């Protein structure tokens, strides 16, 4: 198996491309509403054919609650929606299936009109944007097996025209189809976005050249500024032909000022240099920005410059903080307070977000607070 395929199996659509999910808060709720409406309508239509239709109503509510739980568990800044968190909605789905099975034992409803497997299929689709292909397959397998046993208990042995195996296959078909469709969707999004990520970013060699050129320009600017202070004083001393007490005092003041400027320049990180015009507020007491490599700097610098160049950005509206962690990594939080509609703001951030995602860890974007977070792994300081 190629590395790209292996990587695509380990990430969900939401993990690899979260910024594209502009309607993400409504995905799970939409499926929850569809599950509730479908369950209620199907129960009312078959009400007279079931000896205990109230169990089907309870099943609709439980399966709807499973979808709502997925919505809550996948909100911004929540931990990854992995198998441990998915176990709750899967168990709720099985519980709803059990209630619907009780409603259909001894009923006149045919297995082809049984709504519960369709509800489980909607639950699998709800988990799809936040789950990897292996995870979706495992959820589908568990729910399909449970559906098979439920169909055997409620429908096999009737005077239906189907055999017992056919009855179980009919019941499980909705779950299987939903699993296959959701898995194809998840894997397709992951592998296509990986291909896009592979083409994003500035080559390291090119960024090294840009960084060196910027450093040389900064040095020349500093030397010119220092020279503009010292040159007139030296010229005046040369013209006078002697050094007075006032000249010595002024020379001491200039020396202390030059030393302070040189120390400040030496201690200033590349990120501090971007903040000299006051449009970015940087909190980096340990100069952790210098621990970022060329690719990380290129992506972050591009994002900062893009935001600063936008007319909707006010002075001081960008805040970025870097803090060292016990394991040697650097936690970065960036607040982007910019007066743009959500769609335009996402489109502006997305290319740099994708570039950062290839070089940093645990990156996340909170659209409610306009907060970008990621962690720079420990490594060589530049």
Looking at the chain, the whole-number percentage of residues with pLDDT higher than 90 is 30
Residue 121 has pLDDT above 60, yes or no: yes
The encoded tokens of residue 336 equal 């982007």
Is there a contact between 147 and 97 (Cβ–Cβ < 8 Å)? yes
Q: Which of 89 and 215 is assigned the larger pLDDT?
A: 89
Is there a contact between 277 and 287 (Cβ–Cβ < 8 Å)? no
> Please, what is the average pLDDT of the chain?
78
Give me the mean pLDDT over the 285-307 stretch: 77
**Packing angle, helices 294-309 and 342-357, rounded to 10:** 170
Closest CA to 380 of 256, 312, 260, 294: 294
CA 225 to chain centre: 44
Q: What pLDDT, in 10s, does the model give residues 328-355? A: 888 888 887 766 666 566 666 777 777 7
Looking at the chain, the whole-number percentage of residues with pLDDT higher than 70 is 71
Residue 275 has pLDDT above 70, yes or no: no
CA 148 to chain centre: 36
pLDDT of residue 95: 97
Give me the mean pLDDT over the 142-147 stretch: 96
The encoded tokens of residue 352 equal 């740099």
pLDDT of residue 322: 86
What is the pairing mode between strands 318-324 and 361-366?
unpaired
Cα–Cα distance measured from residue 169 to residue 226, given in angstroms and rounded to the nearest whole number: 83
DSSP string, 193-233: HHHHHHT-S--HHHHHHHHHHHHHHHHHHHHHHHHHHHHHH
Q: Of the ranges 73-87, 106-120, 173-187, 218-232, which one carries the lowest mean pLDDT score?
A: 218-232
pLDDT of residue 200: 45
Q: Which of 375 and 296 is assigned the larger pLDDT?
A: 375
Alpha helices for the chain (secondary structure H):
3-8, 13-16, 24-45, 53-73, 83-104, 116-127, 133-154, 164-198, 204-240, 245-267, 270-274, 294-309, 342-357
Cα–Cα distance measured from residue 292 to residue 56, given in angstroms and rounded to the nearest whole number: 57
pLDDT band at 160 (very low <50, low <70, confident <90, very high): confident
pLDDT of residue 181: 95
CA 43 to chain centre: 39
Put the strands of the sheet holding 361-366 in their side by side order.
280-283, 318-324, 330-336, 371-376, 361-366
pLDDT band at 108 (very low <50, low <70, confident <90, very high): confident
Q: Which residues pair with 278 in a beta bridge?
A: none
pLDDT band at 204 (very low <50, low <70, confident <90, very high): very low
Q: Which of 200 and 13 is assigned the larger pLDDT?
A: 13
Give me the mean pLDDT over the 360-377 stretch: 79
Residue whose pair of structure tokens reads 């176990």 in the numeric block: 87
Q: pTM for the complete prediction?
A: 0.59
Q: What pLDDT, in 10s, does the model give residues 311-335? A: 666 655 678 888 888 888 888 888 8
Residue 20 has pLDDT above 60, yes or no: no
Cα–Cα distance measured from residue 204 to residue 358, given in angstroms and rounded to the nearest whole number: 13
């Amino acid at each position: 198996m190629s590395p790209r395929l292996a990587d695509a199996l380990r990430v969900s659509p939401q993990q690899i491309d979260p910024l594209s999910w502009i309607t993400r808060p409504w995905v799970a709720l939409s499926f929850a509403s569809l599950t509730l409406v479908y369950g209620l309508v199907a129960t009312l239509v078959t009400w007279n054919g079931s000896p205990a239709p109230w169990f089907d109503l309870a099943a609709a509510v439980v399966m709807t609650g499973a979808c709502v739980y997925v919505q809550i568990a996948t909100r911004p800044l929540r931990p990854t929606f992995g198998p441990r968190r998915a176990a709750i909605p899967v168990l709720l789905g099985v519980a709803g299936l059990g209630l619907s099975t009780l409603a259909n034992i001894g009923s006149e409803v045919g297995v082809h009109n049984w709504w519960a497997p369709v509800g489980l299929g909607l639950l699998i689709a709800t988990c799809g944007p936040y789950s990897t292909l292996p995870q979706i397959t495992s959820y589908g397998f568990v729910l399909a097996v449970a559906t098979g046993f439920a169909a055997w208990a409620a429908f096999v042995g009737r005077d239906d025209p189907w055999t017992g195996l056919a009855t179980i296959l009919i019941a499980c078909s909705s779950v299987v189809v939903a699993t296959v469709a959701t898995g194809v969707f998840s894997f397709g999004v992951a592998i296509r976005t990986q291909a896009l990520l592979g083409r994003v970013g500035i080559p390291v060699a090119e960024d090294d050249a840009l960084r060196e050129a910027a450093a040389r320009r900064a040095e020349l600017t500093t030397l010119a500024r220092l020279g503009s202070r010292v040159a007139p004083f030296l010229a005046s001393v040369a013209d006078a032909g002697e050094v007075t007490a006032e000249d010595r005092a002024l020379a001491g003041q200039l020396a202390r000022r030059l030393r302070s400027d040189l120390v400040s320049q030496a201690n200033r990180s590349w990120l501090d240099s971007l903040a000299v015009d006051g449009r970015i507020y940087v909190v980096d007491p340990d100069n952790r920005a210098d621990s970022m490599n060329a690719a990380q700097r290129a992506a972050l610098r591009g994002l900062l410059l893009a935001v600063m160049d936008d007319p909707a950005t006010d002075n001081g509206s960008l805040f970025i903080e870097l803090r060292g962690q016990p394991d040697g990594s650097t936690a970065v939080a960036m607040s982007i307070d910019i007066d743009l509609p959500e769609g335009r703001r996402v489109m502006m951030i997305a290319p740099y977000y994708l570039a950062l995602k290839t070089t940093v860890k645990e990156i996340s974007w909170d659209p409610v607070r306009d907060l970008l977070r990621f962690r720079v792994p420990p490594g060589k300081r530049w």
